[in-house]
Structure 1
Amino acid sequence: MTASSTRRPTAATSRTAAVGAIAVAGALLLTGCGDQTKDKDKGSGESQSASKAPLADKLPQQIRDKGVIKVGSDIAYAPVEFKDDAGKTVGIDPDIAAALGKQLGVTFEFQNGTFDTLIGGLAAKRYDIAMSAMTDTKDRQEGVDADTGKKVGAGVDFVDYFTAGVSLYTNKGDDQGIKTWDDLCGKTMAVQRNTFSHDLAKDQAAKCKKDGKGTLKIEDFGTNPEAETRMRSKGADVVSADFPIAAYSVKNAGGGKYFEIVGDQVEAGPYGIAVAKDNTRLRDALKAAVQAIIDNGEYQKIVEKWGVADGAVTEAKINGGS
């Protein structure tokens, strides 16, 4: 969807407490990634025997035969997915994928690509699914360009598995007087392109112009770490990203000395696993597997491990975004 220009704060926890909750193992600095679709990583799970997996028979036979689900993902979005010091793909999504693999009897193989190419990669059958902190929206479901309103593709179905809002953050000690999105007028924002944050930024820029309060300049980048680097060099005043990502950066980048969150989360929405419209059997198998790990408690352990339990869901849904 094209997000509403009226900002809706999410359920309140204090920013200080929320940032503290993202204390994950290691003070890892974020590193960028290119469109390196040959970069493959099986994440934190190992292939399970399909004969022992309770939901294996729900998968398409072709995937059961291969024993692998290929996952398109922008692996530069800690703590959702990123490379650890050993070069292994880790994070919320790889852990959830490993748990799903136990239910389905397959390995989820993460392949690195820039975020704005992932849905195209599904259409080209480069990937079986896309799992990359992707917000489930009507526009993405329907294959509609959020800027023009024109149909540009077949769209995708989503299996929703998490909820996150969007946050603003600045260089530490230099908040530019930003408390709300309306304070962005006259500022420069760095943001990862084609993300939900990018959509919100464009909506806010139009609102600033309409209200005559100054221009919000938007600089978009292929990865979130690139946007952060731009802000660190004083080329931008503020970065916008999903709350788990913003909070992780605030906690870990520069040992917690680089950034600070300003204002509250807005526009909470579901993360979804994207599946091609014509792959309904895989979609339904994933939904059953997500519900299974919610019911058996594995899901809760994962979100607690990464300090993001506030975004947990209790029910797997298909196309729950609006």
Structure 2
Amino acid sequence: MTASTTRRTTGLRSRTAAVGAIAVAGALLLTSCGDQTKNKDNGSDSTKANSAPLAGKLPASIRDKGVINVGSDIAYAPVEYKDESGKVVGIDLDVAAAMGEQLGVEFEFQNATFDTLIGGLAAKRYDIAMSAMTDTKDRQEGIDSDTGKKVGAGVDFVDYFTAGVSLYTNKGDDQGIKTWDDLCGKTIAVQRNTFSHDLAKEQATKCKKDKKDELKIEDFATNPEAETRMRSKGADVVSADYPVAAYSVKTSGGGKYFEIVGDQVEAGPYGIAVAKENTELRDALQAAVQAIIDNGEYEKIIKKWGVEDGAVTEAKINGGS
């Protein structure tokens, strides 16, 4: 889910990579905190930690417990979602599992709504947030993009993927939409507090300034809810990150429900969010991402999910703008 920001560029970038629908194994645990997924254990915690090449980079508290708690909105296929058997799977799960092999720990994913993840980090409910969250300056600095006011300490990001934003409609009913400027007079459904939500608000302002018909915005807690609204004809179009839009187009109704319209815009990095004070954990995560890039595991994961166009070659810290 791309991050909230006031940035809007005019450049468009088109990508053609199809998104695969391959499920990966994960064990789903139900707890009072919500859904949790603990990546596959390949041995005792002590043996794994002792043999892991980057275990020494972790804070002692995390190394000792052998677990990194991850806040995530598990309703964003193919990045993280539940497969037909109820297991939590996706790109982020695979990347985290590969990182865990480097660090000697398990990544446990806990389900939460997207707009509560950074607050959860501040409240120490999670060690990190990993949920298709775009790294931007506003999030780094704790700025509310709507008001421009500082609302928190901000977070640091370890970047691991790149994605833009797409528009999609009911199949065979594109409403004449090719660009964001075609949205005036339409109704758009988006997930709340995402970059798509911000782009919709900016476009609504632009429609008004240009004295065109109003762009109506309906926001929802999850992207599937936005899609359901469009399917019921309550909205004309949905916006989401390109991998998510492409996956929905490929899989929903066996590929019969939706179609992407126009080109992808606003490509930016996905980042693993870490509280500002947790610099040791941040640096350990950066080392782990870079290690799986260098050893080829990252490339295997990206190819498996058919999202090669979003691959990165360097695990940057706070590389977003």
> If the length of structure 1 is used for normalisation, what is the TM-score?
0.93
Q: Quick one: structure 1 residues 59 and 3, their matched pair in 2 at CA, closer, same or farther if it must change by over 3 Å?
A: same
**Quick check: 2:6–2:145 contact (8 Å CA) kept in 1?**
no
Aligned length: 307
**Structure 2 alignment gaps of length 5 or more:** 24-31
In the alignment, which residue of structure 2 is the partner of 1:38? 34
Q: Deviations over 1:260-284 (max 9, x none)?
A: 0000000000000000000000000
**Structure 1 alignment gaps of length 5 or more:** 27-35
In the alignment, which residue of structure 2 is the partner of 1:24? 21
Q: Note the C-alpha offset of 1:67.
A: 0.2
Q: Quick one: structure 1 residues 147 and 136, their matched pair in 2 at CA, closer, same or farther if it must change by over 3 Å?
A: same
Question: Partner amino acid for 1:226?
Answer: E
- Give the 3-state SS of the residue equivalent to 2:34 in structure 1: coil
Question: Partner amino acid for 1:41?
Answer: T
Q: Note the C-alpha offset of 1:193.
A: 0.5
Structure 1 residues 250-261: aligned runs within 5 Å: 250-261=249-260
- Give the 3-state SS of the residue equivalent to 1:318 in structure 2: coil
Q: Note the C-alpha offset of 1:43.
A: 4.0
Structure 1 residues 211-250: aligned runs within 5 Å: 211-250=210-249
In the alignment, which residue of structure 2 is the partner of 1:31? none
Q: Note the C-alpha offset of 1:146.
A: 0.6
Q: Deviations over 1:76-118 (max 9, x none)?
A: 0000000112211100000000000000000000000000000
Partners of 2:64 and 2:210 in 1: CA distance: 58
In the alignment, which residue of structure 1 is the partner of 2:314? 315
Sequence identity, in percent? 79
Partners of 1:111 and 1:122 in 2: CA distance: 12
**Quick check: 1:171–1:259 contact (8 Å CA) kept in 2?**
yes
Stretch of structure 1 that moved more, 196-205 or 251-260? 196-205
Q: Deviations over 1:204-263 (max 9, x none)?
A: 111111111111111100000000000000000000000000000000000000000000
Q: Deviations over 1:8-65 (max 9, x none)?
A: 212x34xxx43xx213237xxxxxxxxx842111145657610010000000000001
**Quick check: 1:5–1:204 contact (8 Å CA) kept in 2?**
no
Partners of 2:197 and 2:134 in 1: CA distance: 12
Question: Partner amino acid for 1:24?
Answer: A
- Give the 3-state SS of the residue equivalent to 2:150 in structure 1: coil
Q: Quick one: structure 1 residues 44 and 187, their matched pair in 2 at CA, closer, same or farther if it must change by over 3 Å?
A: farther
Partners of 1:45 and 1:308 in 2: CA distance: 26
Q: Note the C-alpha offset of 1:320.
A: 0.5
Q: Quick one: structure 1 residues 246 and 46, their matched pair in 2 at CA, closer, same or farther if it must change by over 3 Å?
A: farther
Question: Partner amino acid for 1:23?
Answer: G
Q: Note the C-alpha offset of 1:170.
A: 0.2
Q: Note the C-alpha offset of 1:196.
A: 1.0
Given candidates 8, 12, 35, the residue that maps to 1:9 is 12
In the alignment, which residue of structure 2 is the partner of 1:186? 185
Partners of 1:87 and 1:7 in 2: CA distance: 40
Q: Quick one: structure 1 residues 44 and 184, their matched pair in 2 at CA, closer, same or farther if it must change by over 3 Å?
A: farther
In the alignment, which residue of structure 1 is the partner of 2:168? 169
**Quick check: 1:43–1:89 contact (8 Å CA) kept in 2?**
no
**Quick check: 1:39–1:111 contact (8 Å CA) kept in 2?**
yes
Partners of 1:300 and 1:5 in 2: CA distance: 30
Partners of 2:202 and 2:42 in 1: CA distance: 42
In the alignment, which residue of structure 2 is the partner of 1:33? none
Question: Partner amino acid for 1:4?
Answer: R
Structure 1 residues 1-322: aligned runs within 5 Å: 2-10=5-13, 12-13=14-15, 17-18=16-17, 21-25=18-22, 37-43=33-39, 49-322=48-321
- Give the 3-state SS of the residue equivalent to 1:57 in structure 2: helix
Question: Partner amino acid for 1:231?
Answer: M
- Give the 3-state SS of the residue equivalent to 2:178 in structure 1: coil
- Give the 3-state SS of the residue equivalent to 1:165 in structure 2: strand
Question: Partner amino acid for 2:5?
Answer: T
Q: Deviations over 1:114-162 (max 9, x none)?
A: 0000000000000000000000011100111010001111100000000
Partners of 1:45 and 1:302 in 2: CA distance: 19
In the alignment, which residue of structure 2 is the partner of 1:32? none
- Give the 3-state SS of the residue equivalent to 1:39 in structure 2: strand
Q: Deviations over 1:175-220 (max 9, x none)?
A: 0000000000111000001111111111111111111111111110
Partners of 1:286 and 1:209 in 2: CA distance: 44
Question: Partner amino acid for 1:42?
Answer: K
Q: Note the C-alpha offset of 1:6.
A: 3.8
